[in-house]
Amino acid sequence: MTTRRRSSRIALIVLSALALPALSGCFAAGSTAPDAASAERISVAMMQPPRSGLSPLSDDAFKLSRWATAETLVVLDDDAVARPSLSTSWEQVDATTWRFQIRSGVSFHDGTALTPDAVVRSLQRAASASPLPRILKGIGLQARAEGDAVIVTTGDVDPLLPQRLSSPQLSILAASAYTGDTVSPIGTGTGPFQLVAVNGITGATLDRFDGYWGGRAKLAGIDASFVPDGTARTAALRTGTADIVETVPAGQIETVDPALVHEVPMPRTNTLYLNTARGPFADPSVRAAARGALDRARIIAAVYEGRADEAKGLLGPALPWTVGARDSADLDAVLATRAPAAVVDRVPITLGTFTDRAELPEVAVLVQQQLEAVGFIVTQDVREYQFIEADALAGAFDAFILSRATVLDSGDPVAYLASDFGCGGGFSISQLCSADVDAAIAAASRIAAGPDRQKAILIAEAQVLATDAAVPMLHERVVQGESARVRDAARDPRERTLVTIDTWIDPAAPAGDARR
């Protein structure tokens, strides 16, 4: 397969508009987009502080992507189809080999040029990182330069390699980013905004990069602050302290002018992970009892005020091909292998979650009540995510409530299923290792994009659900806050894009909530 584009202008459209054109902010009456770059800056309140010093090899990479400072070889459109970015075209040479043509005329923020060698350096650093970025888990990716192209090979057939290379964790940075054991995105990206300063877990500053290959951004820069507390983020929106606010908590929405909040359907599932390796939930019948205890409708009504969808599986309605597709005899046969629920009599368990998503502690209260109603004795442990992630991944909890993006990396849920539920998964909170699950995930991973792959994905999902290692509760609809001054911010279900080259500020519009 070869993907080609005729001009850099088309590629620019992909980067700044194609990703989510229907979900971009619209013009206010009487406002006019600036013809050229302006002196206006935008302030953004981010939900979570960096956990790994903004290393692109961690989940912090998604901040770099949302700030349009670090770029990848390809980007994804609405349908998760790979489109050109730092690579202008690609072709599959054989079952495990791909050739990516590298865009010419691109400068890194430090003034050095994008070259095939620079691409290889970034990809190889990711491939040799410890821990390995989850998008590369089990892939065996290797890269080498060949003329003006990069040859990428994998250890096994990977029909979605272009989509995989769209992950922000595979951002291409300048040689100066790699010093010793650290990777620094400060002044080393290729995007329309240059990261110039990071103040620990407080904030970051980005300025427009006038040498951007796709043209000049309309904004002069971005001032990002990290505000884990949902009430504080909402207050920043109301007072005009922030122009864009990530994730307005459901309980705070009624305190804000409805014109400033925008509901975004998310491929994000609120799931109860159960520890299959040790403790009471090592018994599948006890896991089945926990599954049967949950009242999803009550959680949605009480905590999300109806702004969520009841989960029928791990994958939700943000992936339209899942809707109605679970009415299948093949899937029913897999789910019929679930263990029967045990009778629970005063079984003590620990339940963990985190405060960064304001709804989760409230969900934990209801889940505790529902589990205790069937015989569990629940002790909660609730912290900021940066202080609880390591314990969760180490299996320190019997149960853990997580809000999880299911197509975070490649736009395809196979990577999520492998990461969270495969024997070698890098994000295995449930500590699951099942031969049937591994086989189903492996089968799905070998199929090219299309209906057959989708069917195989649902079979793999059913295999996970049959273990009761994870109990999906609801699919979120995240609410993004934007002041009346903001124009053309991206509202991205995959949480990769936020401020783009085309985002601008209308200085004539009021900041904050006009009802104050």
Q: Which two tokens stand for residue 471?
A: 């109990």
Domain assignment of residue 19, yes or no: yes
* CATH number of the domain where residue 161 is located: 3.40.190.10
Domain assignment of residue 253, yes or no: no
* CATH number of the domain where residue 339 is located: 3.10.105.10
Domain of 441, in residue numbers: 265-476
**177 and 61, same structural domain?**
yes
**404 and 308, same structural domain?**
yes
Domain assignment of residue 195, yes or no: yes
Domain assignment of residue 258, yes or no: no
> Cβ-count burial of 113 within 10 angstroms (0-12 exposed, 13-18 middle, 19+ buried)?
exposed
pLDDT tens-digit map of 226-283:
999 999 999 999 999 999 999 998 889 989 999 999 988 789 999 999 999 999 999 9
Task: Work out how many domains the chain is built from and give that number.
Answer: 2
**227 and 343, same structural domain?**
no
**177 and 284, same structural domain?**
no
Count Cβ atoms below 10 Å from residue 421 Cβ, excluding itself.
31
**347 and 218, same structural domain?**
no
Q: Which two tokens stand for residue 498?
A: 């936020």
pLDDT computed for residue 114 by the predictor:
98
**208 and 137, same structural domain?**
yes
Q: What does DSSP say about strands 244-245 and 142-146: parallel, antiparallel, or unpaired?
A: unpaired
**284 and 322, same structural domain?**
yes
Q: Tell which residue, 226, 276, 229, has the closest CA to residue 437.
A: 276
pLDDT computed for residue 516 by the predictor:
62
**461 and 491, same structural domain?**
no
Domain assignment of residue 320, yes or no: yes
How far apart are alpha carbons 93 and 181 in whole angstroms? 34
pLDDT computed for residue 408 by the predictor:
65
**45 and 28, same structural domain?**
yes
pLDDT computed for residue 16 by the predictor:
38
pLDDT tens-digit map of 333-359:
999 999 999 999 999 999 999 998 889
> Cβ-count burial of 91 within 10 angstroms (0-12 exposed, 13-18 middle, 19+ buried)?
middle
123 within 8 A of 143, measured Cβ to Cβ: yes
**304 and 167, same structural domain?**
no
**437 and 392, same structural domain?**
yes
pLDDT digit string (tens) for the chain, length 516 residues: 433 333 333 233 333 333 333 344 444 445 677 777 899 999 999 999 998 999 999 999 999 999 999 999 999 987 778 999 999 999 999 999 999 999 999 999 999 999 999 999 999 999 999 989 988 988 899 999 999 999 999 998 888 899 999 999 999 999 999 988 889 999 999 999 999 999 989 999 999 999 999 999 999 999 999 999 999 999 999 999 999 999 998 889 989 999 999 988 789 999 999 999 999 999 999 999 999 999 999 999 999 989 899 999 999 988 888 988 998 999 999 999 999 999 999 999 999 999 988 899 999 999 999 999 999 999 999 999 999 999 999 999 999 999 998 986 778 899 899 999 999 998 999 999 999 999 999 999 888 878 899 999 999 999 999 999 999 999 998 889 999 999 999 998 888 999 999 999 999 998 887 666
**207 and 83, same structural domain?**
yes
Domain assignment of residue 510, yes or no: no
Tell me the whole-structure pTM to 2 decimals: 0.74
Domain assignment of residue 259, yes or no: no
Instruction: Write the Ramachandran bin of 505: left for phi over 0, alpha for psi from -120 to 50, otherwise beta.
Output: beta
Domain assignment of residue 493, yes or no: yes
Concatenated DSSP letters of 111-175: SPBP-HHHHHHHHHHHHT-SSPPGGGTTT--EEEEETTEEEEE-SS--TTHHHHTTSGGG-B--G
Residue 401: strand, helix, or coil: strand
Residue 225: strand, helix, or coil: strand
